[in-house]
Structures are given as structure tokens and as C-alpha cells.
């Protein structure tokens, strides 16, 4: 019985891109679609596909003919070492070869193998007929630990079809290139991929034409990801991964950092009303003396998202000692609460309880009209026992003084539980939110305590005294 030979497939099939589960293949496929001037991978026609692949091969030839990676136009050639080491494009022996020989070798390397040479194997990524086995020279990370499971032992590499293989050839167009490790963004949100990669491809094509590296400064890979998110127009429906990798001979590396959909979407919205109004304050809240806020914000987003809310809290309360409520309080507190709801997914009832307690405390402080009282309350944040005591004391005061302008207790029993119960896991965070709520409400009330100048002056005096001097005087007594 004659089995149909799987190799006799329609050649059009070998010119139709498909998206697979491999992030780097997907990035390459989108880059290839962008080169073919279409945003949807599936709508790239076989003619469009073949033309785009031809462009990529010609770019490789042009780069190879430069021969010297250190020359003024050598950047694309240098980049190829991080993707296709020891390939015909950048082989050491190229220095001694003439143009015709190099061109021929690169074109042959990038040619689709003749069907007679196709193995009896399916593409490991998409299941279509493979055109050969491919290893490190053609596919970044084919041999790295993380991707090794794709390569059966004893095989030359992964069995790949032509469109999947070409996706890897185009991969550099979809990355931020440094000459060393490359950076790429990946997401299962297809619209995000299409837009982000079309911008990246456009930029890289300009750089390829010049043969030079990107002169634009990027503070960090994480900042680059943040920028891409903030530029995206549609709601994100999936998280985003930041891949930093190299296929260089000196060592294959792959580092993956991820953002969940909720924080990716929240960061995206910080560039749009109403969240954009708080963004400058969010950066101020994250900046340190030697680092811009955007660097720390992007880093926190990837590595410790909960720190974003803490940074807002610290910033909003930093001047309470002087009785000063910052002018940007409303915007930043609003952004902070949106983060707590949308990213940390805190229970809305609990947030409402804490805000209600905060409003009561603010009303009491406003009625007292005292920077000294505000300072005393703020100082309790570091010690839960003191804060609890302070609140209980004010509860009693409020109950006793019928004319204090505060109705009912400052803090209810259920609120006390949220703030101080050892069984409540996030109690410390609830206390931070309480202070943010207090500050936000005081800002709304236009709190300007009469003793502010006095408190500030007292603080200035304290600041002039070196702590060691204070200890010295105490020791003398
Ligand atoms: Zn395939």
C-alpha cells in the first residue's frame, strides 16, 4: 500500500506563516508580517512572505560584505553573532573571500532546501512538513537548557518547516539590539504584539540601512517595556514577558521576566486620563537621589509590584512631620488606590472600611487644626501598638466630647480588626493605606493647621542636632 508522501505538500503551505507556542518564533513571525506590511500574521500572502524573506536575505548579504564588525557599518554584522554564530554571514574566513563567494554562501544558507532533501519529520513547532533539522547556527537557544526538550538526543537540531525557520531568521528585526544580549517583548495579546513589533521593525530597518547601533538611550530593559505598554492604545488582555537573550558562542543565555495582565494594563493606563494626572507624582514617589523614578518604577513593576503602593505611601507621608500635605496628594492617592484595587485586587469592602476610618481620623485632625497632632499620629505608623493606642484614645475623646464635630467612634471594631488583628495577613499594609486615606482626606479638606510654622521650626532645630551629639549630652546628664 502506498502511503501518501508527506513531502509532496503544496509549496504554498511552506510560505504561510503560523503562530506557534514558541515565544521567539512568535516574535519573529510578527516581525516577518511587519516586513511584509501586514499586521496580522495569517494575512501575509505567500508572495508577501517570499518577498519579505528575500529582503532579510539581502540584508544579511549586505552585512556580511562589510566583513569587519568594528567598521562603521558593522553593527548588523556584529548583531548576527548574537543570533547566528559561525554562520556563513559572519564566518571568520569571510575576511579573505571575495564578494561573490560570500554572497553565494549567504544566499545558499538562507535558501529553502529542495523538497528532495526534506526529512520525514514534522516541524516541532507547528506540525507541518519539516524542511530540515536546525541547530544553533539558525535557531537561537536551540541548545540552551530551557529549550533542549525540543531537540531529541542525537539529532542535529529541531525539525522545522520553512515558515517557522524563517521566523527565527527574522527574529533580530523584532528585538532591541545592543550587539550583545538582545531584548524582546512577548505577549499572548496579539494586538500588542502586532503594534509593538511593527514599530520595532520600522526602527531596526533604519538602523540596518545605516549599519549602526541605536543611539537612543534606554535606561533599562524594564523601562523599555514600560514605554511599550504606555504607548499601546488598546486594553491589554494578557500579561507581558521581557526576554533578554543571547545565542553567542561565549554563552547562551535567556532571562525571562513577566508582568501579569493586571499590572501591565494598569501601567498602560497611567498614560491616559484620568490616571495620567498622577503619573508625574508616581515618578517622584519612586525617584531617589541618584536614580530617576521611572527606573525604579519599572523595576518594581517586574520584580516587586507591591512596592509601588508602598512607594506612594512613603512619598505622601514624607512631610507629615512638618504638617505639610503635598499639593499632588489627590492625584497620587487616587492612583495608589487604583493600584490597590486593580493590581493587588484587595477586597473593595475592606478598602471602603479603611477609607471610612481614614476620613474620621482626618475629620478629627482637621477639627483639632494641629500640625503637632498630625505629626504625633504619623509617628505611630512605625509601631502598631502605639497607633492602636492613639486611635483608641481618640475614640474615647470623640465619644466623651459631644461637641467635637465628630459623630460616633473614629474607628469601628471591624476596622480595628483590619488594622491590627494578627490573624489579618495584610494588617501592616492596611495601616499604610489608612495613613494614605487620612492624607487624601486632609488634602480635600484644605488642612492648614495654625501651628504649622511652629512645628516646622521645632523640626528644623532637631535636624540641626546630630544624633551622636544628643546621645553625648544625655550621657553627661
Ligand atoms: Zn513549523
Show pLDDT as tens, one digit a residue, over the chain (477 residues): 445 455 555 668 999 999 999 999 999 999 999 999 998 999 999 999 999 999 999 999 999 999 998 888 889 999 999 899 889 999 989 999 999 999 999 999 999 999 999 999 999 999 999 999 998 888 887 655 555 444 455 556 889 999 999 999 999 999 999 888 999 999 999 999 999 999 999 999 999 888 888 887 788 999 999 999 999 999 999 999 999 998 888 778 889 999 999 999 999 999 999 999 999 999 999 999 889 999 999 999 999 999 999 999 999 999 888 888 999 999 999 999 999 999 999 999 999 999 999 999 999 999 999 999 999 999 998 899 999 999 999 888 777 776 556 677 889 999 999 999 999 989 999 999 999 999 999 999 999 888 877 777 776 666 565 665 656 666 665
- Ligand 1 centre from 126 Cα, in Å? 4
Of 134, 175, 178, 179, which Cα lies nearest the Cα of 152? 134
Name the residue among 437, 425, 428 with its Cα closest to residue 388.
428
CA dihedral (369, 370, 375, 376) positive or negative: negative
* CA separation for the pair 438, 431 (Å, rounded): 11
Distance from the CA of 455 to the center of ligand 1, in angstroms? 71
**Helix residue ranges, H only, 171-256:** 190-210, 221-231
Q: How far is the CA of 162 from the centre of ligand 1 (A)?
A: 7
Give, for 259, the enclosing helix (H) or strand (E).
strand 253-259
Taking the centre of ligand 1 as the mean of its atom positions, its distance from the CA of residue 163, in whole angstroms, is 6
Helix (H, G, I), strand (E, B) or coil at 353: helix
- How far does Cα 13 stand from its chain's mean position? 36
Say if CB 268 and CB 236 are below 8 A apart: yes
Q: How many Å apart are CA 249 and CA 253, to the nearest integer?
A: 10
CA distance 356 to 187: 39
Distance 165 CA to ligand 1 centre (A): 7
Give the model's pLDDT for residue 405. 62
pLDDT confidence of residue 8: 52
Report the separation in Å between the CA atom of 13 and the middle of ligand 1, taken as the mean of its atom positions.
10
241-276 b/e (C-beta count within 10 Å ≥ 16 → b)? bbbbbbbbeeebebeebebebbbbbbbbbbbeeebe
Report the separation in Å between the CA atom of 207 and the middle of ligand 1, taken as the mean of its atom positions: 29
Strand positions, DSSP E, 278-340: none
What is the CA(164)–ligand 1 centre distance, in A?
4
Question: How many angstroms is it from 176 CA to the middle of ligand 1?
Answer: 25
CA distance from start to end of the chain: 107
Compute the distance between CA of residue 308 and CA of residue 59 in angstroms, rounded to an integer. 43
Q: How far is CA 130 from the centre of its chain?
A: 35
**How far, in Å, are 69, 179, 298 from residue 212 at the CA level?**
10, 10, 27
Cα 161 to middle of ligand 1, angstroms: 4
With CA atoms as reference, report the closest residue to 131 among 108, 167, 104, 158. Answer: 158
Between the CA of 135 and the centroid of ligand 1 the distance, in Å, is: 15
- Measured in angstroms, how far is the CA atom of residue 22 from the centroid of ligand 1? 10
DSSP 173: G
For residue 325, give every residue at least 6 positions away whose Cβ sits within 8 Å of its Cβ, in sequence order, or none. 319, 439, 442, 443, 447
Do residues 90 and 80 touch, judged by C-beta distance below 8 A? yes
Q: What angle do CA 255, 299, 253 make, to 5 degrees?
A: 10
pLDDT of residue 215: 81
pTM of the full structure: 0.88
Q: Are strands 253-259 and 240-246 parallel, antiparallel or unpaired?
A: antiparallel
What proportions of the chain, in percent to the nearest 5, are helix, strand and coil? 60, 5, 35
**For residue 158, what is the enclosing H or E element?**
strand 158-160
CA of 46 to the centre of ligand 1 (A): 15
| Cα-Cα-Cα-Cα dihedral sign, residues 194, 140, 261, 231 | negative
* Distance from the alpha carbon of residue 18 to the mean position of ligand 1, in angstroms: 7
**Alpha carbon of 125 to ligand 1 centroid (Å):** 5
Buried-exposed string 366-400: b where 16+ CB fall within 10 A, e elsewhere: bebebbebbbebbebbeeeeebbebbeebbeebee
Q: How far is the CA of 195 from the centre of ligand 1 (A)?
A: 23
How many angstroms separate the alpha carbon of residue 116 from the centre of ligand 1? 18
Ligand 1 centroid – CA 180 distance (Å): 28
Distance, CA of 229 to CA of 196 (rounded, Å): 9
Determine the distance separating the centroid of ligand 1 and the alpha carbon of 401, expressed in angstroms.
78
How far is the centre of ligand 1, averaged over its atoms, from the C-alpha of 156 (Å)?
A: 17
Ligand 1 centroid from CA 259, angstroms? 28
Distance separating alpha carbons of residues 282 and 275, to the nearest angstrom: 10
* Phi then psi dihedrals of residue 245, to 5 deg: -150, 160
List 243's β-bridge partners, or say none.
184, 256
Q: Within a 10 A sphere around the Cβ of 51, how many other Cβ atoms?
A: 14
Amino acid at each position: 500500500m502506498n502511503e501518501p508522501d508527506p513531502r509532496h505538500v503544496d509549496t504554498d503551505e511552506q510560505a504561510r506563516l503560523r503562530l506557534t507556542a514558541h515565544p521567539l518564533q512568535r516574535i519573529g513571525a510578527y516581525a516577518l508580517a511587519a516586513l511584509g506590511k501586514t499586521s496580522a500574521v495569517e494575512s501575509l500572502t505567500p508572495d508577501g512572505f517570499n518577498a519579505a524573506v528575500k529582503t532579510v536575505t539581502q540584508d544579511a548579504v549586505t552585512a556580511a560584505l562589510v566583513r569587519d564588525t568594528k567598521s562603521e557599518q558593522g553593527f548588523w554584522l556584529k548583531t548576527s553573532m548574537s543570533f547566528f554564530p559561525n554562520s556563513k554571514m559572519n564566518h571568520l574566513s569571510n575576511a579573505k573571500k571575495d564578494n561573490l563567494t560570500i554572497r553565494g554562501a549567504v544566499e545558499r544558507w538562507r535558501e529553502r532546501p529542495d523538497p528532495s532533501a526534506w526529512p520525514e519529520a514534522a516541524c516541532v513547532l507547528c506540525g507541518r512538513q519539516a524542511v530540515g533539522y536546525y541547530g544553533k547556527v539558525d535557531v537561537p537557544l536551540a541548545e540552551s537548557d530551557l529549550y533542549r526538550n525540543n531537540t531529541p538526543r542525537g539529532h542535529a537540531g529541531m525539525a522545522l518547516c520553512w515558515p517557522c525557520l524563517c521566523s527565527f531568521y527574522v527574529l533580530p528585526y523584532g528585538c532591541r539590539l545592543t550587539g550583545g544580549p538582545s531584548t524582546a517583548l512577548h505577549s499572548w495579546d496579539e494586538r500588542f504584539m502586532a503594534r509593538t513589533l511593527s514599530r520595532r521593525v520600522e526602527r531596526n530597518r533604519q538602523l540596518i540601512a545605516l549599519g549602526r547601533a541605536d543611539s537612543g538611550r534606554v535606561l533599562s530593559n524594564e523601562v523599555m517595556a514600560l514605554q511599550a505598554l504606555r504607548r499601546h492604545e488598546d486594553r491589554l488582555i494578557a500579561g507581558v514577558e521581557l526576554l533578554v537573550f543571547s545565542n553567542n558562542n561565549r554563552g547562551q543565555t535567556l532571562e525571562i521576566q513577566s508582568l501579569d495582565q493586571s499590572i501591565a494594563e494598569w501601567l498602560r493606563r497611567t498614560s491616559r486620563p484620568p490616571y495620567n494626572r498622577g503619573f508625574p507624582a508616581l515618578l517622584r514617589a519612586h525617584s531617589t537621589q541618584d536614580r530617576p523614578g521611572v527606573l525604579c518604577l519599572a523595576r518594581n513593576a517586574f520584580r516587586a509590584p507591591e512596592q509601588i503602593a508602598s512607594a506612594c505611601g512613603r512619598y505622601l507621608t514624607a512631610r507629615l512631620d512638618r504638617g505639610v500635605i503635598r499639593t499632588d496628594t489627590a492625584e497620587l492617592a487616587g492612583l495608589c488606590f487604583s493600584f490597590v484595587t486593580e493590581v493587588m485586587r484587595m477586597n473593595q469592602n475592606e478598602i471602603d472600611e479603611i477609607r471610612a476610618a481614614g476620613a474620621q481620623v482626618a475629620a478629627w485632625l482637621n477639627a483639632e487644626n494641629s500640625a503637632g497632632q498630625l505629626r504625633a499620629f504619623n509617628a505611630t505608623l512605625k509601631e502598631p501598638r502605639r497607633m492602636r493606642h492613639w486611635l483608641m484614645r481618640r475614640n474615647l475623646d470623640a465619644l466623651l466630647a459631644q461637641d467635637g464635630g465628630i459623630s460616633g467612634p473614629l474607628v469601628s471594631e471591624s476596622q480595628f480588626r483590619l488594622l491590627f488583628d494578627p490573624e489579618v495577613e495584610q494588617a501592616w499594609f492596611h495601616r499604610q493605606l489608612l495613613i494614605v486615606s487620612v492624607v487624601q482626606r486632609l488634602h480635600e479638606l484644605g488642612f492648614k493647621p495654625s501651628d504649622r510654622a511652629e512645628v516646622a521650626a521645632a523640626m528644623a532645630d532637631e535636624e540641626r542636632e546630630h544624633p551622636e551629639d544628643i546621645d553625648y549630652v544625655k550621657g553627661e546628664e
